[in-house]
Structure 1
Amino acid sequence: MTGHFRVSGTDCLEVAGAKHRLLQSDRSGLIWNRLDNPSMCLSFTGDEFMQLLSRPDVRLKRGEFSDKSAFRRNRCDLEYLQSVAPEKRAKALWQTACACAFLEAESRVETTRSEKAVQRILPVLEERVNLIEESGQDVGRSKRAGHVFKRRRFPSARWLLQWVRMYEAGGHSPLVFLRKRRPDTSVNKLIGEAESILAECVAKYLDRNEPTQEQIIEDTGERFAEINAGRAEVGKLALPVRSASTIRRRIKALDPFEVVAQRKGIDAARRKFGFYEDGLKADYPLQRVEMDEWQIDICSLFDESGALEGLSVEERTKFEVGRRWLYVVLDCATRCVLAFRIVATPNADDAIRTLKLVTEDKTPIAEAAGCESRWEQFGGIGILVTDQGSAFAAEKFRMTVADLGATYEAPPAGVPKLRARIERIFRTFGQRLAPMLIGRTFGNPVERGDYPSERWAALTDGELAQILTLFIVDIYHNTPHAGLQGETPANAWKRLSSEQGVTPPPDANHHRAVFGIPLSRKIGRHGIRFFGINYTCPQMQDALLRGASGNIPIRVDPEDITYVSVCLGHEWFTAEAVSRSVWGLSLDEWRTIVRDLRTRFKDEAILSEKVIRAARKKIRAIDARARQLRRIQLPHLTSEQLDREERQLCLGLKVGPDGSAATGDLEWPKGRKRPDPDDLLGDVITPDGPTSGPDAGGIADVDLFPGENEEWTFDD
């Protein structure tokens, strides 16, 4: 596990509602200072900090104290695009595409920031944006004549430049194009006004006269003094004045390219930050990440999770043969592969699942594949670079990148050097891995000749996933790389992560809210119920007291169902499973347990919890290796499939403590025994013990079929 994380003084660590700011960071660990009580500090080693982020009451907000975040909060009080209405979300992403199209044209010296120059190139920019938007709208549907594409009227040159300035001031986040849902309190308003004025003063540093930092500090002090004098005359509170060190930090946080471009000219900036043949420079792990899709140069047998294992070669040839696609994410600074996923066809959902693996330690996957090395390269993404493929242009993919806190870039097609590293890794796969495997397709028909790729296909999806994992983790990561001056990617990761640190991954609630399976559940006295498990949290209880009702959005992490994230008032909170019996289980394990017990004990009214414990132990031992490898393979659950299976499998299933609203049924029929606390299958399972009669914890013998002369009643 990585022991040194890259955090900055602008990051905020929130523990049980208390905010902390970074005081010190080095290879030995991190020290955080509590804002409301500076005398209190928290210290963690790298491993302790990683464990801390998994707690439900911990939030790590990257760049929370930066001027870009302050500007963004001054305009919008939301943290996630997925919490916004679909129409507003789509418009914000479209405005982002407009701003990015201009910035790309500006970097290629096709225009400048004058309205006349922008006016001349507006039709070209509009066409580029429309192509991206239409490509995203094509995701998930077959291309057919008559399909309708939604287009928006392009902004004028003046408004486009305004959007670009807002986009840059807000740290390249689509959230700057949204508005606040409600007015701020007086204190927040004062802070917002002060931050806005401070941002204007700091922006004066970007002047061709090249003012010094000391001049900006002096001008800022005079500006605040003048404004506060005017506020005092009309009886308003004074704005908080920022210190000189704060102003220096804000100046230092300005984009380096923009600083040089504004102070010395675009030519000087291009010379200093120019493109190289191996792409843009990255100084530390996960600062810049490239992602792309590639059709594997191997014909394989299409199967589902080992369905063809144990069959002979002759029997395997009867099954469907073809080429799978591969999503790969590569770290630019170290050339390490951060994640990959095998898919049937490129799509936005699998692209998002590949991003999810970037933020997780994949050593269990490597161990399941039999690797000798660890696959511990993971963390939070700084800049994500893709091509303009339809999966990456899809609204849900761009929304996920924005909610993850990363900056999204999609360089134009035809300029491969802007994504040179990811293109090179695919050539490495084709040149070094493919020749070792049967069923190779080669790079083109000339190279292939009469090689019978389809007839010699022998690898299944599971075997292909294991081979790719072994090649990446044990071979590629430990082979000297020309782009690293002969250093191996694994060593480059160890060196740079130790020297520079790694951006920490999102905290557990943030991770679940971004990558979890999206569902909706009805809120009630029991909280919310998912697959028979009740979840609750203080925020849900408060919402019920205020009269909340109906369905609310939730997110489920299939790797751990101890917690789910619930959306209340556009904010995501962590809800905990009421029954401890399911803590630590994955969704697959819980589904297997429920399905097995529903099948074996469907005719029994009483079931001992020791059976559940035995089933849980068996399930966790069996198939553990295959479960890890399936994280990079085809099978996955959609929201619709999960809803359908829950209706079929968990009808009447309840989990919760006795005598509370968590059972979901306070009006229990008089005389009927309740399930004991922490029952797993509340309708069929009781704790261990005798089962001969109601007093012994069982169910009394009843006549299920009354005689002909007896009448049926509701009690029957």
Structure 2
Amino acid sequence: MDLLLRAEHDRTIIIGRPWLSVIMDLHTRVILGYYLTMFPPSIISVQQTMGMAMLPKNTGYFQLASESCHYPYFGFPERLLMDNAAEFRSPIVEAAMRKYKIKPEWRKPGKKHMGGHIERLIGTFMTSAVHFLPGTTFSNTQQRGDYDSEKQSALTFKEFCTWFAGQVLIYHGTVHAELGTSPKDAWEKAFDSTEIQLPEVAINPRALYLDFLPETIKPVRNNGITLNKRRYYSSQLNRIQGRARVVVKFDPFDMTIVWVSIDSEYVKVPQVSSGQDYISYEEYRCDRQHNKKIPPGTITDEDALRQMRTNNALVKNSQRSTRIAKIASKQLEGNAHHAEQRKHGIPKAVWDAHIPSDDFIVDESEVNFSLTPRLFDQND
């Protein structure tokens, strides 16, 4: 997309342009599903777009920033027209389409006009909306001219996702040039006819949701499963600890839970460090890619930080307790020493001192003991 975005953790950093994957219903031009990412399209982009397209938005799955009541579009496509990108040829995607009886059709080489509807849709979003955002790169350098896209850039990826969800709502309510009506009105009119039934609803939405989640293979250790620098644990993992690697599915929009395949059933496993701030998978990837200022040795895990504070407090308390004990011991020794010195009224050091007689030679013949004694001045 023709827009430069900034990093969440540091708005002075430009992280690049977002990528959009979208599924459109050709008959009504309704956008059934889409996925935004800061990275080139992958199987995750395809899976998330397809899952969102087929599930009702009010089920809680694939929830968007806009209100779900304004997004009543869903359904199983009979045919899915795609280009020949590697992510569309993935065996995982093809298996999911076969499971839900979707016929895939790939664009013939050299026949770019076969994807004209999607190209025009994206072009409409660019020219009518994105090119008016701060930081747009326009479609080419001639259009951009002297406009400084990096200097004018203002939105973060999270903010752009919220903006785009609202823009989809605006698009659905805007009259389409070829239809002569808005995509929303075209959708409602199509299903007002008694000949056309409402879109088929998935019997098991949860199963469909899981089918289109990204997955990875992970070992189960004593402390659970580690994924994307987060730890997940449940007592249900105890019986498969250390046995083998298992299939783990995760939701790019909610990293607080994962689903682990145990005996051909997916079990929900929560994140252990619940105090950690929630971030989506895309935010995690952006932070890992662009946050280069964190020096080696920096502790970023909340559990580790909490334990470091506990250890520091323990050492400080130990130092304070030892210091108090030393002071108390010195006071007891000092009190005992002074008590011994005061026992005879004369300091023990003076009483026991041996004074050599040679140091005090007095000529008694010159002393007149009949005179009254005279006090010496203290300066003498």
TM over 0.5: yes
TM-score, length of structure 2 as denominator length: 0.59
Amino acid at match of 2:181: E
Which residue pairs with 2:375 in the alignment?
none
Task: Give the structure 2 partner of residue 655 of structure 1.
Answer: none
Distance, in Å, in 1 between the alignment partners of 2:234 and 2:74 is 31
Distance (whole Å) between structure 2 residues aligned to residue 327 and residue 386 of structure 1: 11
In structure 1, the partner of 2:133 is 437
Match of 2:171 in 1: 476
Check if 1:551 corresponds to 2:244: yes
SS of equivalent to 2:20: strand
Pairs within 5 Å for 1:276-425: 296-301=1-6, 303=7, 306-308=8-10, 316=11, 318-343=12-37, 344-362=39-57, 369=65, 374-425=70-121
Ranges in structure 2 where 5+ consecutive residues have no aligned partner: 287-300, 305-380
1:512 aligned to which of 183, 206, 210: 210
Structure 2 letter corresponding to 1:388? N
Q: CA deviation at 1:425?
A: 0.6
CA separation of 1:649 and 1:299: change in aligned 2, threshold 3 A: closer
Instruction: Confirm or deny: 8 A CA contact 1:509 1:574 kept in the other structure.
Output: no
CA deviation map 1:363-390 (0-9, x unaligned): 6799974669612322334322211123
Residue 158 (structure 1) aligns with: none
Residues 238-277 of structure 1 mapped to structure 2, 5 A cutoff: none
Once residues 535 and 367 of structure 1 are traced to their aligned partners in structure 2, the CA distance between those partners, rounded to angstroms, is 28
| Paired residues for 1:603-618 under 5 Å | none
Whether the aligned pair in 2 keeps the contact of 1:336 and 1:493 (CA below 8 Å) is yes
Describe the superposition over 1:619-649 as per-residue Cα deviations: whole angstroms up to 9, x where unpaired.
8xxx7xxx7xx58x55469xxxxxxxxxx99
Secondary structure of the residue that 1:535 maps to in structure 2? Answer: helix
Aligned residues: 276
Confirm or deny: 8 A CA contact 1:322 1:454 kept in the other structure: no
CA distance in 1, matches of 2:102, 2:41: 22
Alignment of 1:109-124 (within 5 A): none
The structure 1 residue matched to 2:233, chosen from 532, 541, 564, is 532
Identity in percent: 20
Q: Secondary structure at the match of 2:150?
A: coil
Deviations along 1:681-707, one digit per CA (max 9) or x if unpaired, are xxxxxxxxxxxxxxxxxxxxxxxxxxx
C-alpha distance 520-441 of structure 1, shift in aligned 2 (>3 A) = closer
Q: Report the equivalent of 2:197.
A: 500
1:461: how far off? 0.9
Q: TM-score, normalised by structure 1?
A: 0.33
**Deviation string for 1:118-159 (max 9, x for gaps)?**
xxxxxxxxxxxxxxxxxxxxxxxxxxxxxxxxxxxxxxxxxx
String of CA shifts for 1:272-295, please: whole Å, max 9, x gaps: xxxxxxxxxxxxxxxxxxxxxxxx
Further displaced range: 369-378 or 319-328: 369-378
Helix, strand or coil for the counterpart of 1:335?
A: coil
The alignment status of 1:566 with 2:261, answered yes or no, reads yes
2: CA distance, partners of 1:357 / 1:399:
17
**In the aligned structure 1, how far is the partner of 2:186 from the partner of 2:49?**
23
Q: Is the partner of 2:129 in helix, strand or coil?
A: helix
CA contact (8 A) 2:260 2:266 kept: yes
Q: Give the Å deviation of 1:502.
A: 0.8
The superposition leaves residues 201-233 of structure 1 with CA deviations (integer Å, 9 ceiling, x where unpaired) of xxxxxxxxxxxxxxxxxxxxxxxxxxxxxxxxx
Q: How much does 1:514 deviate?
A: 4.3
Q: Hey, what does 1:28 align to over in structure 2? A: none
**Aligned ranges 1:150-189 → 2 under 5 Å:** none
- 1:510/1:368 Cα in 2 relative to 1: closer, same or farther (>3 Å)? closer
Structure number with bigger Rg:
2
1:384–1:406: 8 Å Cα contact kept in structure 2?
yes
Alpha carbons of 1:512 and 1:462: their partners in 2 closer, same or farther (altered >3 Å)? same
1:508 Cα offset (Å): 1.8
1:513, 1:555 within 8 Å by CA — same for their partners in 2?
no
Quote the Cα distance in structure 2 between the aligned partners of 1:444 and 1:560. 37
Q: How far apart are residue 398 of structure 1 and its match?
A: 3.5
**1:134 matched to which residue of 2?**
none
Give 1:307's aligned amino acid: H
Q: Which runs of 5+ in 1 are unaligned?
A: 1-295, 309-315, 578-586, 597-618, 638-647, 652-716
- Map 1:591-670 to 2 at 5 A: 591-593=272-274, 595=275, 630=280, 633=282, 635=284
1:415–1:510 Cα change, 3 Å: same
Partner Cα distance (2:152, 2:216) in 1: 41
